[in-house]
Structure formats: structure tokens, C-alpha cells
Structure 1
């Protein structure tokens, strides 16, 4: 396998649960704990802006309502994406992928972009996210790693920006996952940590794929996985695990 350029520790959605997820405030906090690699979720607005949000609806983490896929970016940009978490983060806006790219490159940080499409726009979201990532990181020494649970989104990403590295996300080892991994031309597989063990790590490495896991918040689990040869660990516990420890 080629040398793996990404840090082993990645801060989940910026700073785990210590800040409003998928916001620039969360990235700043995660960086304050020493993290130099992050994971985030990217969706599309109705008018095609790539921005950070996890859910298929706006209610849980913003002051908005309904599907973000039905709202133009100008309206999404006015939402409060921090007040739900705690008062100090009130009025924190949703960030565009452009803003996150600027933060990461200014601070020498790596990024795992999870392509998180709303239902019905899987391929389009993969295409736009990958095209934007290729533009924003053009000439950068370390490009972002694009990942998704959606094979269709990864197909779109592959077609739009074939040079960018991709990873298949798996919550379970569903029938045909290995064949899909080959067909999608990915460089890594990212699983729920409960699925990953020494045998799977060995199998992935033997096939030329890197092995990463989400979301590890227990030191004993992390130590076991590191001993078994894991290549990346996504964590919420940025104040307890990883670079600052």
C-alpha cells in the first residue's frame, strides 16, 4: 500500500459534542485540542451550494424547518446553527464547504468529507461535493478524503473528480460490500467500530484498502484498534482521546 498521509485521529463533526456539530466554531474548538484532521457532513442547498449539515431535515441542529434540499443557500445562511447546543454558540451560522476548506488549509488540517445526500439527490450531491472539493483543494499537498454510505454518491464523486481519494462507509458488512468497494475504486473502508476487528483490518490491508472506524469514544477500544493496525479513528471525545492526551 502507498503511505497513508492522513492523521490517525479525526475529530467528529469538528469537536464531537463539545460544540454545535458541523460548524466553524466546532472546527476551531477541535483544533484547540490539538486535532489536525476532521470529519464533517456535506449536503446541497436547493440552488446547489455545498454546505455542512448531517440530518435530512433542519430542525435538530438549526432554527430552520424541513429539508435543506428545498431551501436556497441565501436563506440557509441566515439560520442559527449553534443556539440548539448552548447559549455561547447562539447565532453560529451553517458553514459552506468553501469556508471549511479555507480553515483547514490555513491551519494545515486534513479533512474527511462525508457526502451526506438528501434522499433522491445522491449522485448529484456526490458530483457537486467532489467538484467543489477538487476546486477548493486544487494544488494542495493533501486533498480531502471523500466518503459516503451511498454507493451512488461515491459514483458521482468518482465521475466528477476521479483523482480525489474516496472511502466507503459501512454500518454493517452488507452483502456485496467488498465487490462494491472494488467497483467504486476506493482507497479506504470506514466502518462502525463495532464491526472492525483484527481479521477485517488484515483483510482490508491485503486488498490494498486502508481501515478506519467511527465513532470511538472509549480509550480501551481505541487502544485495541491501534494495536490491531487501524489507520484512522473518528472520535467525539476530543477532550479525552487523541492529540491533546
Structure 2
């Protein structure tokens, strides 16, 4: 694992947290307008193999569609309204493909954390697809995206497909073997629910060579605690509250 870490500390969750419809280009533009230079997004596969941005398995919460997003072709998904659920100001905002977001980030010098968010049962296929797409889209770029997932199978597939891309294991609990799994997957980072970090877990992670990132951190007291612990990255919804530095 490389000791170099090119990413900013502050990462805008799903683009602009909750201030614009998540995972849409409108959200990333709003995050950028607040000074953020790195974003987190969720990527999954359409039925015809296009990577698109969406957190949920199903379409109902954040679009005008119904059913499982991964069961539909990209053409159908691209016609959905992914903004009206949030507010009238964003009515008609479309879903974004990973390619759309990659071009936006590369043209503007922004950094990206791509969470591999597979439709259940497509963990390996999605990990492979995200890794190949990231390698192609960011070919020649100084800083590639950081690929993360809660699913070790997805990260394993990404590792096999494009081993040179940096990876991070997402953790919502410190389950048995968490540190060893991160090492086996040759991850550069562990991305934890922020409450999981304490002096012991940070020491274990850093001693093993990992960077320590946290989600989703929306309170000043939590930020201060994580800074005091010496962690490396903070994923937040509160783009209005925290002014990001480098």
C-alpha cells in the first residue's frame, strides 16, 4: 500500500448531501459551489451494462420510476425524473451515468470516491464493471478515483480487474476479520461509520497501513473528535456547515 494520499480531507456525500437530489449532476455542481473538491457517489449497473448513479436498489425513493433500477436499460432510466422528489426547483433533473460524472470531475479537477453499490446478486459483475470504467475514464489522469464498497466480493472483483486502482473497504461494524479483509483486498483505506473510530481502531488501522475515512459526519462535535483521532477523510452531508480545506 502506498503511503501517498492525494485526496482532500472533505468529501461531499452523494454530491451535495441533502441540499440537491443525491447522485445527480445538479448535486455535484452544488457541492462544488460550496468549495468541495471531492465527492462520493454510488454506482450500479443497468440491465444493458451502463453504470449509473443511484444509492437504492429500487427506483421509488429518488425517481419517478418503479421497481429495481438494475432491471431496466439505461435508455429507460435516462428518461426518469430524478429531481422532483427533492424539490420543485430540481423537477426533471435526470439520472447521471458514471461517464457523465467522470467528465465533469476531470474537466474541473475534482476528486471522486465511487462506492460500488451492486444490485443484490451482481456484486462481482458490478465491481468488475466499475473498475474497468474507472480505468478507462481516468486513463492518464494524475489521481484516479477511490473505489469503495461494503461488499468484499465487489472489491475483490475490482482488484482482479484493475489492481492498480485504489480501494477502500466500507464498514458499518468492526466485524470479525475486518482488518485482515482490508489487507487481503490490498485496500488503501478503511471507510467506517464514524462512531466506530476510537484510539484503538485508528491505531490498528494505521499500524496496518490504512488511511481512515468516516461517513456520514454531520455534527461539529463528531468532526472535532475525528480530527483529534488523526483520521484522514470526512464524508458529510453538511456542505453548508463545513468549509472544506485541502
TM-score by structure 1 length? 0.98
* Structure 1: runs of 5 or more not aligned: none
SS at match of 1:194: helix
User: Shift in Å at residue 148 of structure 1?
Assistant: 0.1
**Over 4 Å off, 4+ runs:** none
> Separation in 2 of the partners of 1:232 and 1:224?
13
CA RMSD of aligned residues (A): 0.9
User: Shift in Å at residue 132 of structure 1?
Assistant: 0.3
> Separation in 2 of the partners of 1:2 and 1:175?
26
Provide the residue aligned with 1:96 in structure 2.
97
User: Shift in Å at residue 202 of structure 1?
Assistant: 1.6
Deviations 1:88-136 (A, max 9, x none): 1011000010110011111111100000001110000000011001000
> Separation in 2 of the partners of 1:193 and 1:224?
9
User: Shift in Å at residue 199 of structure 1?
Assistant: 2.0
User: Shift in Å at residue 183 of structure 1?
Assistant: 1.2
> Separation in 1 of the partners of 2:197 and 2:23?
25
Q: Does 1:158 align with 2:159?
A: yes
Provide the residue aligned with 1:143 in structure 2.
144
Provide the residue aligned with 2:215 in structure 1.
214
Contact 1:198 1:229 (8 Å CA) reproduced: no
> Separation in 2 of the partners of 1:3 and 1:47?
37
Provide the residue aligned with 1:237 in structure 2.
238
> Separation in 1 of the partners of 2:181 and 2:200?
19
Provide the residue aligned with 1:107 in structure 2.
108
Provide the residue aligned with 2:20 in structure 1.
19
SS at match of 1:163: coil
Deviations 1:48-103 (A, max 9, x none): 00010000000000011111111000000000001100001011000010110011
* Structure 2: runs of 5 or more not aligned: none
